[in-house]
Amino acid sequence: MCDSCGCGGAERLVVEVNRSVLDENRRVAQGNRRMLREMGAVALNLMSSPGAGKTTLLERTIAALKDRYRIGVIEGDVETERDAQRIRAQGVPVVQLTTGGACHLSAALVHKGLHGLKGIGEGVYDLVFIENVGNLVCPAAFDLGEDVKVALLSVPEGSDKPAKYPALFREASLFIITKVDLLEHFDFSLDEAERLARGINPDVEILRLSAVSGEGVGSWLEYVAGLAEGRRGIRP
């Protein structure tokens, strides 16, 4: 028993178990990076709360870029294949991963997803999008082997979320404020959201867009195309 608090060392055990889980996840993530390099792909991990617009943005992105780049998608969700069905309708390879209750994708699950993509067609891609489970907390802690972490926050959620869920915004390379077509209907401050995010991560890039109206989508497409072209330049 712990002499200082009588907790039986439970807290220490939890810390050690969590460390072990994350260490194993990092090991698998390194394997995912190697697999992505073999496939020729740059991978983007899209993270947000449910309903922030990840799937709608993916649909618009694929429609705009699929004739220029080879795109594969890994869809993560607790249950159902609803989002995967929407992406399949865009005519690109999709692998659905259902977690059965887990609030995030792990590197091991994504490893299975990459094997699935590798088995479709030639298994060579320019871009692999990973749509993570809708959650603002857990996904940020798990390295999937991706090249870029993208945090999405929709206008209806409120501009204070970077302060309330800092880990996600600390880890992200890109922060996208979505559904800006709804700004007039919600008490959302673009300045506050961006200030809070940069206070956590001064280097984060920020985009504002609406996948419905098309506002700002061009800047996102340029960002994604730049990643794809960069990967083409170093493909083995």
DSSP letters along 42-110, please?
A: EEEEEE-STTSSHHHHHHHHHHHHTTTS-EEEEEEESS-SHHHHHHHTTTS-EEEEE-TT-SS--HHHH
Q: What is the pLDDT of residue 116?
A: 97
Sorting pLDDT into bands at 50, 70 and 90, what band is 1?
very low
Of residues 83, 49, 224, 223, the one with CA closest to residue 152: 49
Percent of the chain predicted with pLDDT > 90? 83
More confident residue, 105 or 102: 105
| Architecture of the CATH domain 10-234 | 3-Layer(aba) Sandwich (3.40)
The answer, yes or no, to whether residue 14 has pLDDT greater than 50, is: no
- Domain ranges in the chain? 10-234
